[in-house]
Amino acid sequence: MLRVTGLTKSYRSAGEDVAVLRGVDLAVAKGESVALSGESGSGKSTLLHLIAGLDAADSGEIRLADVTVSGLNDAGRAELRRDRLGLVFQQFNLIPSLSVADNLVFQSRIAGRHDAAWHDELVERLGLKSLLKRYPEQLSGGQQQRVAIGRALAPKPLLLLADEPTGNLDEDTADEVLALARDLVARTGCGFLMVTHSARLAATLDRQVTLHAGIVA
């Protein structure tokens, strides 16, 4: 599903090039859930952003199924995010002017892949039926993150990327939200790559990968 080979990325800081990724190799199989861990500054979020096409690598290759992500231009990467990727971040990133119902269908509609039956299942499984007419500001953090997960999974992406998705949640809510995400990922058969600082949450996924100083430890 996903194969990353020899990926490097540096940023300019205080007049010097700072290497963040130094040749990362990583693979995620269809239906596999992988936790990406490592100390702050190890390159976890950078790697996730490169896979999502939110930034371009200096060298190396990223392949998602039959697409070479690292060879796409800005428009191609935007199309990839729309059609093949689901993204979930710590800050939820819901659209405040849209209701829960409209946030949920946002990505599947712009991707042209709205599936009413799958949408109804997501609403039911995520416990959102009574919240559909509310707006993000009227929801708790856990409720907002469940909407964000539903929105990301609605188009049935090939790969779900999550960057500290439970970082703003208390432990019990984090467990509940991640369990729902794992279950729904298994239901769709997509790959799941999650950045997390929590060894406890990482241990609930199929496999753990650790980044250290820009390489896979």
Q: What is the pLDDT of residue 196?
A: 93
Using an 8 Å Cβ cutoff, are 23 and 7 in contact? yes
Residue 90 reports pLDDT greater than 90: no
What average pLDDT score do residues 38-57 get?
A: 92
Residue 91 reports pLDDT greater than 90: no
Q: How many domains does the chain have?
A: 1
Residue with tokens 């090939």: 158
Within 63-130, residue ranges assigned H as helices are 74-83, 100-110, 116-125
Residue 166: give its domain's CATH number: 3.40.50.300
Query: pTM above 0.75?
Result: yes
Q: What is the pLDDT of residues 149-174, one digit of tens each?
A: 999 999 999 999 999 988 888 889 88
Q: What is the pLDDT of residue 68?
A: 93
What average pLDDT score do residues 134-146 get?
A: 94
- 99, with CB counted inside 10 A (0-12, 13-18, 19+), is middle
> Domain of 190?
2-216
Q: pLDDT confidence of 214, banded at 50, 70, 90? A: very high
Residue 44 reports pLDDT greater than 90: yes
Q: For the chain, give the percent of residues with pLDDT over 70.
A: 100
